[in-house]
Amino acid sequence: MPSFSAYRRPVLAGLLVATAALGTQCTHSAQAVETTASGTNAGPGVVQPVVVTDPVRYDTDDPAIWVNHANPAQSLVIGTDKDSDGGLYVFDLKGKEVPGKTIHGLKRPNNVDIGYGFPLGGQPTDFALVTERETGLLRAFRLPDMQPLDHGNLAVFEGDAAGERMPMGVALYTRPTDHAMFAVVSRKTGPKQGYLAQYQLADDGRGQLKMTLVRKFGAWSGNKEIESVAVDDELGFIYYSDEGVGVRKYAADPAQGNTELALFARTGFAEDHEGISIYKTGPRTGYLLVSDQGASQFRFFPRQGTAANANDYPELRMVKVAAHFSDGSDVTNVPLNAQFPHGLFVAMSDNKTFHYYRWEDMLGADIKEVK
């Protein structure tokens, strides 16, 4: 799941808008939704993708967008194929699998996130970090060539019970004050307190990643599980989905403590709370998008909270999408090409594909505010 580096800021100053202009009324649709023969949703009010990727072998789970800051039109979408013989797929902006780049043979990869400019071997390095559930490891691959950046030793939840060492969600956090980078990891099951772990990343002296546990934190309801994790670097917050309960918020900097700051999105969801993505309209404004998986829709919340309370998250709107039973998602506000002039939203669909949506289609009539 996503983190949000400096390279995901808008490259056009005109994209900076105030979310407050959108109001606080949630839009709900009573229109019927159909499932097509291809396993996607259709009907009035359902937003359709402009690109659907080539299918993976088994089971799509989570995408991450790598923004090529030197040439945004050459950006890539990295997506997991969740199986014991799973993979990490690489797609271009047309949804085509990039020949020779996909990593096969991963042991049930779940979630993936992107790190930018991390110093490895004396060079700033972009990389994809993915959870490998059946091995209890994180795996790292350099972007865009997908060469491995770990020695197969990035073990998580070491010392915990065997059943509590299966990583699922991952998000990267870069601390603005010193540019230290951390991986925040969730798991299939764990304790009621300390469900997530946070690791600081470093160069092992051979140009590969190593990591050190800095804390375990985070409440779990005990209801289902915690998979999706997202980090807002600039505001310094971690969000994660406690499935069937809501979205929890914590400080991203371990020095700020482990107190829960908010629990929101608690009502209206058809089934599980899943993927969380953050679209930025300004330095402190934007949207949190949360997958309402059972309804195949995404619910919008204000990134900055409200003027009265930064930890208050009223629902702003709901958008039904063609992606069926969507789990993971990612979004960028960077204009990528003529097809995605205001950014790209990617959602997993359970028919072995990922869907690419134009941001203006997701935002609907309110695109008039994105100038």
pLDDT of residue 43: 87
pLDDT digits 0-9 by tens, 51-81: 999 999 999 999 999 999 999 999 999 999 9
H/E element, 359: helix 359-363
Query: Does some domain include residue 222?
Result: yes
DSSP E strand boundaries for 220-251: 226-232, 237-242, 246-251
Three-state SS at 162: helix
* Whether residue 341 has a cis bond before it, omega within 30° of 0: no
Give the integer Cα–Cα distance in Å for 117 and 124: 4
91: domain CATH number is 2.120.10.30
Q: According to the model, what pLDDT value does residue 41 have? A: 86
Would residue 152 count as lying in a domain?
A: yes
Question: Within a domain: residue 191?
Answer: yes
Per-residue pLDDT of the chain (371 residues; tens, 9 = 90+): 554 444 343 333 333 333 333 333 343 344 567 788 777 888 889 999 999 999 999 999 999 999 999 999 999 999 999 999 999 999 999 999 999 999 999 999 999 999 999 999 999 999 999 999 999 999 999 999 999 999 999 999 999 999 999 999 999 999 999 999 999 999 999 999 999 999 999 999 999 999 999 999 999 999 999 999 999 999 999 999 999 999 999 999 999 999 999 999 999 999 889 899 999 999 999 999 999 988 889 999 999 999 999 999 999 999 999 999 888 999 999 999 999 999 999 999 999 999 999 999 999 775 433 32
Q: Give the tens place of pLDDT for each residue, 240-290.
A: 999 999 999 999 999 999 999 999 999 999 988 989 999 999 999 999 999
Does residue 1 form part of some domain?
Answer: no
- Could you tell me if residue 295 is inside a domain? yes
Which candidate, 249, 241, 250, places its Cα nearest to that of 271? 241
Q: Which residues contact 177 (CB under 8 A, 6 or more apart)?
A: none
The whole-number pLDDT of residue 2 equals: 53
| Alpha-carbon 27 to chain mean position | 24
Q: Answer whether residue 122 is part of any domain.
A: yes
| Residue 367 buriedness (CB in 10 A; 0-12 / 13-18 / 19+) | middle
Q: Quote the domain boundaries for residue 51.
A: 6-369
H/E segment holding residue 141: strand 137-143
Per-residue pLDDT, 326: 87
Residue 159 lies in a domain: yes
Q: How many domains does the chain have?
A: 1
Tell me the whole-structure pTM to 2 decimals: 0.91
Domain membership flag for residue 359? yes
